[in-house]
Amino acid sequence: MTSGGRELVDASLGATKLDAQKVLAPPYGTAGWYAEPGWPKPGNKGASILVGHINHQGNPDVFWNLPSVKLGDIVTVTYGSGRQVKFKITRSEAAPKTGVPKDDTIWDWDNPEPVLRLITCDPDTPLSGGHYEGNWVVWADEMVS
């Protein structure tokens, strides 16, 4: 992910599913693609959901810079085959953690267009039980060449 020519996120992407507590939590150091049945990979119709940690044990993690993205910034997903899919950021904002699972603008699986949603914790919210109480969400639309 780039902003004004500077790289904000450079992370490998791995399939991620809900854990036993129904939480979407990728391994630290990796961005996770929500890979439950029926959810699209980036570049396919519908909302592809990417999640990552903002920090780990006080150190920046893969989505550390996510809250600093700007509208118009570019997200590039590169597959192992070399295929690239580019998305332009259209919205970026804090969201209550309890509201994110219910927000249809995020979980837009039946969108007729390929769209991308990136989710991390909002470090400006209080910690509760070792977890931030809020999320940061970014919405992006595929760029058609």
Question: How many residues are present in the chain?
Answer: 145
| 3-class secondary structure, 106 | coil
Beta bridge partners of 93: 137
**Contact call for residues 40 and 77 (beta carbons, < 8 A):** no
User: pTM for this structure?
Assistant: 0.92
Which structure tokens are listed for 116? 């991308």
Domains and CATH numbers, the chain: 2-142 (2.40.260.10)
Per-residue pLDDT of the chain (145 residues; tens, 9 = 90+): 565 676 777 788 889 998 888 888 889 999 999 999 989 999 999 999 999 999 998 899 999 999 999 999 999 888 889 898 999 999 999 999 989 999 999 999 889 999 999 999 999 999 888 889 999 999 999 998 6
